[in-house]
């Protein structure tokens, strides 16, 4: 038996996992515009720490299996890209291909757990703000689960992601403003209506749901020496770290990987904070749309973990991202969106610092077909055509 609860990493307060609970009551009053969310809660479990084998049902999650919608989220392939391995001289390079989740991105892992939570507690609607992928993901998983989904999306979100939202039958509220404006509008909507919020970091299950890839990786190759994670708000990163922490607690691995935080040069708040210890808001500008974030929502939460584990920060320019995207596609066959390609670009930048016999996992989080503008321009095609 396991006991599950939320704990605030900032003050240690504990809460029940139940509808209506998002941030820590003691720390949330410190929230104000321009800083990462305060009082983001962590899912914690106590009790049975005996691992029962490779059975997926043993993966510790706070919602019982029976509530998960029957849609194939996760269990994504770990590629062994032979041509890249040979050309770069890293025989243990792996690509974790989360582009093949149902909606084409890593976000499905979080939406899946949030949908299970909604079904357990009999909630029939989920609302969220997004830059694109979280919205298309929740719309997709919501369609499979019979949940109504309302999304707040900036008008500038890539067209493919907007079409996904509508195609899956969700309600699209287009926001004339940035993701921050969409975030505030979606919270106001949830507070007025009592609808479950899937806002990233704000709902602690979004972090917990994103830990499952670590279990899949460990099942296949044990603990990798290095893992590169493309990072915007820092929720995927926090989820991946949580997964390896759980694996350690379960005695499945003996050490943690070296965590590499991959960000775009034009949106690098977490990497900068890793160097200086503080968050300074700076307007972001990058081709890597899904990791373009002025103030990382999960910044405070994840920075504490990054400092504890001596994580490394790397950034790549837009030119480096697009070149890496092309190299990845043409030498492995995997076409990932620019945010994901940023993780590969960051690996290319620091590879001289990594011994060649070490294992490396590059987390590829979104399909290239979701956001083609960057690739279109980099290929020299007229970007006015067919978009
Ligand atoms: C959301 C997203 C990321 C970044 O995740 P964060 O939790 O915001 O750091 C990376 N890649 C893709 C494709 C995404 O959709």
Phi, psi of 263 (to 5 degrees): -130, 160
**Greater confidence, 378 or 11?**
11
Q: Residue 344: is its pLDDT beyond 80?
A: yes
Q: What is the pLDDT of residues 222-262, one digit of tens each?
A: 999 999 999 999 999 999 999 999 999 999 999 999 999 99
Q: Residue 364: is its pLDDT beyond 80?
A: yes
Q: Domain containing 336 — which CATH number?
A: 3.40.50.1100
Total length of the chain: 387
Report the pLDDT value the prediction gives residue 384, as an integer from 0 to 100. Answer: 74
pTM of this structure: 0.96
What is the domain range of residue 251? 78-104+206-378
Is the CB of residue 296 below 6 angstroms from any atom belonging to ligand 1?
no
Q: Residue 51: is its pLDDT beyond 60?
A: no
Residue 295 contacts residue 281 (beta carbons within 8 Å) = yes
Average pLDDT rounded to a whole number, residues 25-37: 95
Is the CB of residue 232 below 6 angstroms from any atom belonging to ligand 1?
yes
User: Does some domain include residue 117?
Assistant: no
**Greater confidence, 175 or 2?**
175
DSSP per-residue string spanning 3-33: EEEEE-TTT--EE---TT--S-TTTGGG--T
Q: What is the pLDDT of residues 110-138, one digit of tens each?
A: 999 999 999 999 999 999 999 899 999 99
Residue 5 contacts residue 14 (beta carbons within 8 Å) = yes
Cite the beta strand spans of the chain per DSSP E.
2-7, 14-15, 42-47, 78-79, 93-97, 125-129, 148-154, 171-175, 196-197, 226-230, 258-264, 312-316, 360-364
Neighbours of 380 (CB within 10 A): 6
User: Does some domain include residue 265?
Assistant: yes
Reading the block at residue 279, the tokens are 């968050």
User: Does some domain include residue 56?
Assistant: no
Q: Separation of 289 CA from ligand 1 center, angstroms? A: 9
User: Does some domain include residue 353?
Assistant: yes
Compute the radius of gyration of the chain from its Cα atoms: 19
Report the pLDDT value the prediction gives residue 56, as an integer from 0 to 100. Answer: 54
Report the pLDDT value the prediction gives residue 47, as an integer from 0 to 100. Answer: 85
Q: What is the pLDDT of residues 129-165, one digit of tens each?
A: 998 999 999 999 999 999 999 999 999 898 999 999 9
Q: Residue 27: is its pLDDT beyond 70?
A: yes
Report the SS3 class of residue 265. Answer: coil
Is the CB of residue 213 below 6 angstroms from any atom belonging to ligand 1?
no
Q: Separation of 236 CA from ligand 1 center, angstroms? A: 6
Q: How far is CA 93 from CA 119, 149, 251, 324, 328, in A?
A: 39, 38, 25, 15, 12
Q: Separation of 48 CA from ligand 1 center, angstroms? A: 32
Residue 231 Cα: closest atom of ligand 1: 9
User: Does some domain include residue 287?
Assistant: yes
- Could you tell me what percent of the chain has a pLDDT over 70? 97
User: Does some domain include residue 333?
Assistant: yes
Neighbours of 150 (CB within 10 A): 21
Q: Residue 316: is its pLDDT beyond 90?
A: yes
The domain total for the chain is 1
Residue 132 Cα: closest atom of ligand 1: 15
Q: Separation of 232 CA from ligand 1 center, angstroms? A: 6
Residue 55 pLDDT class (50, 70, 90 cuts) = low
User: Does some domain include residue 154?
Assistant: no
* 177 DSSP 8-state letter: S
Partners of 45 in the beta sheet? 4
Q: Please, what's the b/e burial string for 248-261 (b: 16 or more CB within 10 A of its CB; e: otherwise)?
A: eebebbeebbbbbb
User: Does some domain include residue 272?
Assistant: yes
């Amino acid at each position: 038996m396991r006991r599950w609860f939320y704990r605030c990493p900032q003050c240690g307060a504990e809460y029940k996992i139940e509808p209506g609970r998002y941030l820590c009551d003691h720390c949330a009053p410190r929230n104000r515009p321009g800083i990462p969310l305060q009082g983001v809660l962590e899912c914690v479990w106590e009790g049975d720490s005996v691992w029962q084998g490779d059975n997926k049902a043993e993966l510790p999650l706070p919602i019982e299996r029976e509530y998960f919608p029957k849609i194939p989220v996760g269990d994504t392939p770990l590629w062994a890209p032979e041509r890249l391995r040979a050309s770069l001289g890293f025989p243990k390079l792996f690509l974790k291909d989360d582009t093949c989740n149902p909606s084409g991105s890593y976000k499905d892992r979080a939406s899946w757990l949030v949908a299970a939570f909604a079904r357990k507690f009999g909630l029939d609607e989920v609302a969220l703000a997004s830059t694109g992928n979280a919205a298309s993901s929740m719309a997709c998983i919501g369609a499979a689960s019979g949940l109504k989904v309302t999304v707040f999306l900036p008008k500038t979100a890539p067209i493919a992601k907007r079409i996904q939202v509508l195609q899956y039958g969700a309600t699209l509220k287009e926001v004339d403003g940035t993701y921050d404006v969409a975030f505030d509008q979606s919270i106001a909507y949830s507070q007025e209506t009592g609808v479950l919020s899937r806002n990233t970091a704000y709902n602690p299950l979004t972090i917990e749901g994103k830990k499952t890839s670590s279990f899949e990786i460990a099942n296949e190759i044990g603990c990798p020496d290095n893992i590169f994670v493309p990072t915007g708000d820092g929720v995927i990163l926090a989820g991946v770290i949580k997964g390896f922490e759980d694996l350690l607690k379960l005695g499945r691995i003996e050490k943690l990987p070296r965590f590499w935080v991959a960000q775009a040069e034009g949106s690098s708040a977490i990497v900068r904070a890793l160097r200086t210890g503080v968050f300074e808001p700076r307007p972001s500008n990058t081709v890597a749309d899904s990791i373009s974030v002025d103030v990382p929502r999960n910044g405070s939460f994840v920075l504490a973990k990054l400092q504890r584990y001596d994580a490394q920060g790397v950034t790549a320019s837009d030119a480096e991202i697009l070149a890496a995207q092309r190299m990845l596609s043409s030498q492995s066959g995997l076409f990932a969106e620019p945010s994901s390609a940023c993780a590969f670009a960051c690996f290319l930048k620091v590879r001289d610092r990594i011994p060649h016999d070490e294992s490396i996992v590059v987390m590829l989080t979104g399909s290239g077909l979701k956001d083609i503008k960057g690739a279109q321009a980099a290929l020299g095609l007229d970007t006015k055509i067919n978009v």
